[in-house]
Structure 1
Amino acid sequence: MPRPFSLLLGIAGCFVIGAAQAFAEAWPDDDWPRGATPTGEALAAFESYAFPERDEVSRLGVRSDAVVVIRDGELIYERYAGETRADTPHLTWSVSKSLLASVLGVAYGEGRFRLDDPAARYYPAFSAHPQVSLRHLLNWSSGLAWQEDYEYAPVKSSVVAMLYTQGRTDMAAFTAAHAQEVPPGQHFRYSSGDSNVLAAALKGVVGAAAYPDYPWTALFEPLGIRSAVWETDAAGTFVGSSYTYLTARDLARVGLLMQRDGRWHDRQLLPRDWVAFNRTPAPSYRPLEDEAVPGGHWWLNARRDGAGKPWPNAPEDTFAALGHWGQALYVLPAARLVIVRYADDRDASYRHDEFLKRAVAAFARETGQ
């Protein structure tokens, strides 16, 4: 029979071990660890919104291609539609911008640049705009005369010309040739051109030899991402605005990295101050109704200047990487959720807030699921 003191130590030791196990973090290795999939009315309501009957003729309405939900580092839900499967690298469109921000964050943590460095220091073709800093570009506030229109005004669209016509061979140079309309930092204007100048500046930051592999060595490989494809233009510059492809499960790894403040296992892959910058509203932004607030190449559910949250039914600390036709990587730290949605939305039916409201009801632990 153990002595009372020894017994006390044994009980204390079991408590410490049990507490450590209770708070052990789940991380994906080759695949995601699996958690219990919720059931019940909340899940049915979520699926009725996210995956309605799909009309491949009109291509109207909510058209989710994939939804993956991670809670506390465990995969608890996934569903695919159309031609998308678990192993399909899906075009992310402008989610690419937030991925670029994460790649730059690794370089920032390596001490390769400062946010207020002039962009032209790393991309000399941008020398006509000496006052524009990397911070300005990350906040989409370069002040360049840029028109970010797609199907609705293609003739006047800077982004359509950059991606598909006269700018497609060298997208950063095409952007650099735009006039300085207002001083940098004074006016928010969403710009895929700003993002592609950042992608060109990354080459100067890390060096031409390291550049072709840098997104993989810096970000994708440490996270265990194997599906990533990132297209370049004819100048060899990554199309940081638009052209990354990843499986939904792999994109969720980036979301978990951001949910855990840039830490991956025991490694602080992204500095905490970089993640804080990503999640800080751009100073030049003036709120519009139902519009997510821009941060450092991420989108925020933040209140600004007396305006309400853009997504009222989601926690205020929710932030996201968003792309054309409904691509989204949502990070909900308060709910301990990461949600990837790939889609083929061709009209304005889809609503972030409605999706997030139903997702929180179905998947957050507070529901008791």
Structure 2
Amino acid sequence: MFQSPRISIIVLLVFCTISCTKKYTTIDPITEMPLYFPSTTSEVWDHIPASYLGWKEPILNNLYTYLESKGTKAFIVLKNGKLVIEKYFGGFGITDNWYWASAGKTMTAFLVGIAEQEGKLKLQQRSSLFLGTGWTSLPAAQEDQITIEHQLTMTTGLDDGITDADCTLPQYLKYKASPGSRWAYHNAPYTLLDKVIEAATGQSFNQYFSTHIKNVIGMNGIWAKEGYNNVYYSNARSMARFGLLLLAGGKWNRTAVLGDTSYIRKQVNSSQPLNPSYGYLTWLNGKGNYMLPTLQTIFRTNLIPNAPADLFAALGKNDQKLYVVPSEKLVIIRMGESANQPTQALSSFDNELWGLLKDAGVF
């Protein structure tokens, strides 16, 4: 029987409409999934293939070549808590430990939040209550103006231009400006937060950290004294675990490791107007300008232009990186040698890396 071309066209249009509608309304199973948390007693960690997420394998291969050429030891990408990428280079492996450098600062800030939640301290308390009078070379009246929050935000006003900015001895802690009036990346006042926590809790820093963070989320590693600094060493997965804890807003599965959501918000948002790209010992993207260690220069751009605006990060010397992107449910970590010229925090590696991740369809 002869069929009208008009009828055929109508049938075809109906078929296409149904097919197209079905494709359009398909819900991405990943973005709808709750966060996954790996076991805290084993190495079991669920994976998602990059191809399932639609990430571009050829560009990912270029990314791996780039990472290896930049001295990377370990690189991990989590999506919704699950492993998508886990790569090791140069003989480094899943059980090997590496230093976090200043990326560990973000963990210390988190621990201060736990101590405050437990009523052991308050951020507005003067630091001398825990460090004792004379912890700086300042007169007592000036010294007492410095609070724990100033230590968390790099705004103590102490002079970072001395010969050894890591030194925590009083004679190296000199007045430069009123607390809260000047942002300067200064290791010594940060390092003394360890002593604040010890005095407030009556426990060693390592013990308090292990009880309240490390053991709860299944990390390995230890804080080790190196000169005046206290540096964390762990395997790459442990860094990823802490990133997942941050992504989850301080919760691990059903456990509220840090239940004070107001503190979490403060940690990952601008803590002061002097350097809006800095929270509580945490670097922030998307703020329009930023400052860097050792400089008083204001850079009029986002911290990492190629990255999502809501990214926040723990950044350490020689390109130790822990990135968290809440909007994309991403945690990305990188451990290794310096990718370029040695730096304390940000380097050109950050923007180059995020450019490759963007090209690969990771976000």
Q: Shorter-chain TM-score category?
A: 0.7 to 0.9
Please point out which of 223, 243, 256 is paired with 1:268.
256
Which residue pairs with 2:72 in the alignment? 64
Please point out which of 114, 118, 121 is paired with 2:126.
118
Which residue pairs with 1:356 in the alignment? 354
> Using the alignment, how far apart are the partners of 1:304 and 1:122 within structure 2?
36
2:327 aligns to what SS in structure 1?
A: helix
Q: Deviations over 1:137-159 (max 9, x none)?
A: 11101111113xxxxxxxx6423
Whether 1:102 aligns to 2:110 is yes
Which residue pairs with 1:303 in the alignment? 287
> Using the alignment, how far apart are the partners of 2:121 and 2:197 within structure 1?
10
1:232 aligns to what SS in structure 2?
A: strand
Which residue pairs with 1:334 in the alignment? 327
Please point out which of 180, 201, 204 is paired with 2:199.
204
1:143 aligns to what SS in structure 2?
A: coil
2:340 aligns to what SS in structure 1?
A: coil
Give the 5 Å matches for 1:28-43: 28-29=38-39, 30-39=42-51, 42-43=56-57
Which residue pairs with 1:249 in the alignment? 237
Q: Sort the Cα spacing of 1:356 and 1:303 in 2 relative to 1 into closer, same or farther, 3 A.
A: same
- What TM-score do you get using the length of structure 1 for normalisation? 0.76
Please point out which of 272, 283, 289 is paired with 2:272.
283
Q: Name the amino acid aligned to 1:36.
A: I
User: What is the CA-CA distance between 1:101 and the residue it aligns to?
Assistant: 1.1
Give the 5 Å matches for 1:1-369: 23-29=33-39, 30-39=42-51, 42-52=56-66, 62-124=70-132, 125-126=134-135, 128=138, 129-147=143-161, 157-159=163-165, 162=166, 167=167, 172=168, 174=169, 177-207=172-202, 209-225=203-219, 227-232=220-225, 239-240=229-230, 243-270=231-258, 271-286=260-275, 293-304=277-288, 307-345=300-338, 347-348=340-341, 350-362=348-360, 364=362
Which residue pairs with 2:21 in the alignment? none
1:345 aligns to what SS in structure 2?
A: coil
Q: Name the amino acid aligned to 1:299.
A: W
Q: Sort the Cα spacing of 1:88 and 1:185 in 2 relative to 1 into closer, same or farther, 3 A.
A: same
Q: Sort the Cα spacing of 1:123 and 1:311 in 2 relative to 1 into closer, same or farther, 3 A.
A: same
> Using the alignment, how far apart are the partners of 1:69 and 1:82 within structure 2?
19
Q: Name the amino acid aligned to 1:204.
A: A
8 Å Cα contact 2:55-2:361 kept in structure 1: no
Which consecutive residues of structure 2, in runs of 5 or more, have no partner in the other structure?
1-28, 290-298, 342-346
User: What is the CA-CA distance between 1:50 and the residue it aligns to?
Assistant: 4.8
> Using the alignment, how far apart are the partners of 2:226 and 2:349 within structure 1?
32
Which consecutive residues of structure 1, in runs of 5 or more, have no partner in the other structure?
1-18, 55-60, 148-155, 288-292
Answer with 215-224 or 25-34: which moved more.
25-34
1:219 aligns to what SS in structure 2?
A: helix
User: What is the CA-CA distance between 1:134 and the residue it aligns to?
Assistant: 0.8
Which residue pairs with 2:24 in the alignment? none
Q: Sort the Cα spacing of 1:76 and 1:346 in 2 relative to 1 into closer, same or farther, 3 A.
A: closer
Higher CA-based Rg: 2
Q: Sort the Cα spacing of 1:103 and 1:53 in 2 relative to 1 into closer, same or farther, 3 A.
A: closer
Answer with 339-348 or 92-101: which moved more.
339-348
> Using the alignment, how far apart are the partners of 1:80 and 1:320 within structure 2?
21
Q: Sort the Cα spacing of 1:44 and 1:257 in 2 relative to 1 into closer, same or farther, 3 A.
A: same
User: What is the CA-CA distance between 1:47 and the residue it aligns to?
Assistant: 4.2
8 Å Cα contact 1:248-1:340 kept in structure 2: yes
1:69 aligns to what SS in structure 2?
A: strand
Q: Deviations over 1:119-173 (max 9, x none)?
A: 11111142642111111111101111113xxxxxxxx6423xx4xxxx4xxxx3x
1:158 aligns to what SS in structure 2?
A: coil
Q: Name the amino acid aligned to 1:301.
A: N
User: What is the CA-CA distance between 1:175 and the residue it aligns to?
Assistant: 5.6
Q: Deviations over 1:173-209 (max 9, x none)?
A: x2674211100111110011121111111111111x4
Aligned length: 308
Q: Sort the Cα spacing of 1:206 and 1:297 in 2 relative to 1 into closer, same or farther, 3 A.
A: same
Q: Sort the Cα spacing of 1:300 and 1:32 in 2 relative to 1 into closer, same or farther, 3 A.
A: farther
2:192 aligns to what SS in structure 1?
A: helix
Q: Name the amino acid aligned to 2:145.
A: Q
User: What is the CA-CA distance between 1:82 and the residue it aligns to?
Assistant: 2.0
